[in-house]
Each structure stands twice: as structure tokens, then as C-alpha cells.
Amino acid sequence: MILLFSTVSNCGDEKKEKTQELAEKGGGEEQLYRPNFHFTPKNNWMNDPNGMFYLDGAYHLFFQYYPDDNVWGPMHWGHAVSKDLVNWDEKEIALFPDSLGYIFSGSAVVDQLNTSGFGNGTIPPVISIFTYHDPKGEQEDRIDFQYQAIAFSNDKGESWTKYEGNPVLPNPGIKDFRDPKVVWDARRQQWVMALATYSETYFYGSKDLKSWSFLSSFGKDLGAHGGVWECPDLFPMRVTGSEETKWVLIQSLNPGSANGGSGTQYFIGDFDGKTFSLDPDFKNQLDQHKAIWLDFGRDNYAGVTWSNIPKEDGRTLFIGWMSNWDYAQVVPTETWRSAMTIARELILEKDSLGYKLKSIPAREFMDHVNYKPEQRNLEIDGPFKIAGPVEANLSNAVIEISFKTDTKANYTFELSNDFGNILKFGLDNQKQSLFIDRQNSGKTEFSQKFASSISYGQLRKMEGELELLIILDKTSIELFAEGGGTVMTEIFFPDEPMTHLTLTASDNTLVIKSVAVGQLER
């Protein structure tokens, strides 16, 4: 094992030189593709968000990180901090691989009661819970090469000490045994860990974060199973407008998503301190749809929620990795790879169709948007120009639009540039779905899977009117319809910045109730 990590380190020196060379000649790439407001690492590879917690006015975001190349490699935990969920300050690497393995995904909690005993009596300790991935064990074809470990911080996440008793949860003989997400179950006064185990979620309980006992499993023959289950997240939520509380289980999988590759489904139910059981109404929804998706787009994966959000705030805040394992390692950015979605608030609602976990932009994000005067009550024959280069910077834009829809017509937005790149999205009434078509959006040849088909997101209701929130960065689109009930997130790589946005109805008749174009001001 020591030799293995020594080899990685030596190779890293060469890769750092390569990264520096790319950075020196990457100015054009930076200008064209580096997002304006989505978090990206300064250099090299990033994937899953990890260890997210809030403490003393700061949101902490850790993430899977390989500092020596722009493709996946021996995993570390990178670290960034924000006061407003928009402006991020990237910190030094938080956790490094060691003789027990790479540092795979996990979570972090603020141990307010010092149940772990790691506190020093002044501030509550922060405990990170993560998976060790032993590459030597994997190479030897063992199945027990993943196990759970912890580290603690007594300076609010700035530095970490790995627990000398690691691993705290040995592998019971399961090949895929990873991504621990821990939550405090106040009613039972216990910590609960949700853990991905190939095609199920296992739950473990602990009083001190160091000794864990198996509670139950969930997921066999439920939901989507086209790939490996990863990055679970279990948490309670109040149902909007009621006194009812339900438990939500977010469960990513790869491949097997709604539109191919990586995706994130969810389940609604109850947790009794040992077992997570589906709500009967949600079970009926699941029987009808087979899987219920948090985001229908191809580029929102492995997302999880922040811990320790103050009770007076009360929100459930979420962020996801804005990429897809189908092509993440070959997208045309050479000095860094991947971004996160914008931070989102999750909202649990129930209506005549059942439960729905909605996601909307965090209010901190929307507070940074400066809108131009709204246009209202427009009737247009032919294409409607929403914005051009004079009206807005469409590489940094937020558009809110509401328009009437006819069941016999389709509605297509075209985001384009003078180079001829076009990203199409809109409403397909025949499929009762939103859609995103990036087949002609710019660079697509880097992967056959990137733009081989149109993505669709099923709407819950067709009510004769569509309200859309559209968030555009240089290389991404995030669509929110039905108040966050139907969401799509996708990336694209134009040959030059997109500068025009139009809306066209297939019957050439548009009735725009309102439209507002804004820019994010940081």
C-alpha cells in the first residue's frame, strides 16, 4: 500500500506540470467555458458533493477531488466555503488518501451534543463520515475493499484529524458499500447512516458516531435499478401546508436514469428509528411511474443536502454534481472538469396526484438577480425575441416567463449564437413533457452519448399555461416548471457564447402573460 501511494505521488508531479501547461494556454477555454456563477474547482477533477454542513454563517461544501489531473483518480476531499451559496472560496484539500485507501464520498455533521467525545469544550466538533476505498483490495479482486471511517474537526472544518479507530464500519462482504450520509434522529436520540449497497440502501444506527449497528435495508425491486445505487440521503421534511412530517430518501444511481446515464430518484415514506417504509400513496405513484425523479435532466447527479441548517431557517438545501458519468471525463474543458448545480431548496408537497419533492433555486441565489422591467400581455404571431446581445448577457441570465399553451401546439425556445450553435428546449405537448435538445448546441463529438437523443421531463399537469424559470450560465441550463415540480439540468459547450433567445409556437400563435429577464450580480 505504501508503494502504491508513493507511485501515485510521483506520477502526480508530472501531472501537475501538465496541468500548469494547460492553464497557461487555457485562457480561451476559461473565457468560453468557465461558469459565471456555478462552483468549479480552480484546477483538475471534481465530482460528488460531500460533507456539506452549515456553521456560524458559513456553508461548507466538500467534494470528490483529484488534484493531479482532470480525470478521475485517487480521491481526496476538496473544500469550499460560502456565506451566500453563490460566491465560493476554495480552500486547501481537507482529506487526503492514506494507507487505508482513497477518500470516497460521505457526509459531515455538527455534533452539537458531543456524542462522539471529540469536542474540546469550546465549540461543537464537526465529524466527517466517509468511505475508504482500498485500491489494493480492489486489484486483488476482493469484495470487501470499501469501508466507512470518520475524521473530526475542532476548528469548524478548517483542519481534520482521522480517528485512530478507523474503520468504524467494516465491510460485511459487499462489493459496493459506500457513500455514508448521516442524520441526527432527534426523536430516537441516535445517528442514522444511509449507505449505498449496490442495489439497496442499508441503514445503520449509532449513539456516538464510532460504533454502528445494522438497522434495516430498503429498495429491493423498488424504483429504478438500471445501475449501481450511490449517494443516498435520508431526512425528515414537513409537508407544506400541514402538520404532517414524512421522511425522504434521495437515491442516485448510475446508469439507468430517466434520460440515460447518471440520475437521482427519490422515495417518500416513514422512518421508525429502524425501518424506512414507503408511504402507501407514494407506493401507488411508484407503481404507476416505476421511478420518481428529482431532476429529469442528464446533469444533476449524486446530490445531497446540507446538515445543521438552523431550525429558525427550516429549509432543506441541496446541491448536485452537474455532469454525467456517460461523458464527464471527456467534456471539452482541459484545466478543470465539472461544476456543481446552483444550490436549491427542496419542498415537499402533497396534492390530488400524491407527494412531490420540488426543488427551486435557493433564495440567496434569487436575491442576487437584478431584473429588467417585466413585459406583460403580449400577443405575437411568429417567433418572439426574448433577448439578444443588447438586452442581456445570456451567459449569465435568469428568465421568468409565463405563456398560454394550446394542447395541439409545441413550444420551442432557441438559445443560439452567430456561429450556428442552437440549444433547443421547451414544451412537447404530445409527450406532455419539457424537453432539451443539445444535438446542435456546439461541441458534441467528444462523446457519442452526449447528444445522441433529446431529453424529456414529464410534467405532472397540463393546465393551459406554463410558467418557466430558466437559469443560463455559459455552459448550462437549469429549467424549473410547475413551481419546481418538474426540473431539468443539462450542460452544453457552444463554439462561442450564446447571444440570442427566442420562443416559437408550432401554430405561430403566442400569448405571453409575462416575461422578465435578469442578470446575476455577484
Work out the mean pLDDT of the chain and round it to a whole number: 95
| Distance between CA atoms of residues 21 and 26, nearest Å | 8
Using one digit for the tens of pLDDT, what is the confidence trace for 108-164? 999 999 999 999 988 999 999 999 999 999 999 999 999 999 999 999 999 999 999
Q: What is the pLDDT of residue 403?
A: 98
Which DSSP letter does residue 343 get?
P
Q: In the predicted model, is pLDDT for residue 22 greater than 50?
A: no
Mean pLDDT of 255-275: 99
Mean pLDDT of 173-197: 98
Question: Could you say which of 13, 48, 295, 367 is catalytic?
Answer: 48
Measured CA distances, 342 to 231, 320, 370, 372, 446 (Å) = 18, 8, 17, 22, 25
What are the cell numbers at 30? 476559461
Beta carbons within 8 Å of 497's beta carbon, 6+ residues apart: 32, 394, 395, 417, 474
DSSP codes, 219-255: -TTSS--SSEEEEEEEEEEEBTTSS-EEEEEEEEEES
Residue 48 annotated as catalytic = yes
| Distance between CA atoms of residues 34 and 21, nearest Å | 17
Q: What is the pLDDT of residue 499?
A: 98
Beta carbons within 8 Å of 196's beta carbon, 6+ residues apart: 176, 177, 178, 179, 228, 229, 230, 231, 232, 251
Q: In the predicted model, is pLDDT for residue 24 greater than 70?
A: no
Q: In the predicted model, is pLDDT for residue 12 greater than 70?
A: no
Using one digit for the tens of pLDDT, what is the confidence trace for 243-252? 999 999 999 9
Q: What is the pLDDT of residue 19?
A: 46
| Distance between CA atoms of residues 341 and 320, nearest Å | 5
Q: What is the pLDDT of residue 248?
A: 99
Among 304, 273, 268, smallest CA distance to 289 is for 268
Q: In the predicted model, is pLDDT for residue 9 greater than 50?
A: no
Instruction: State what percent of residues in the chain have pLDDT above 90.
Output: 93
DSSP codes, 405-468: --TT--EEEEEE-TTS-EEEEEEETTTTEEEEEEEESS--TT-TTTSSS-EEEE-S---SEEEE
What are the cell numbers at 273? 428509528
The lowest-confidence range among 120-124, 172-176, 239-243, 469-473 is 120-124
Q: Do the Cβ atoms of 333 and 29 come closer than 8 Å?
A: yes
pTM of the entire structure? Answer: 0.94
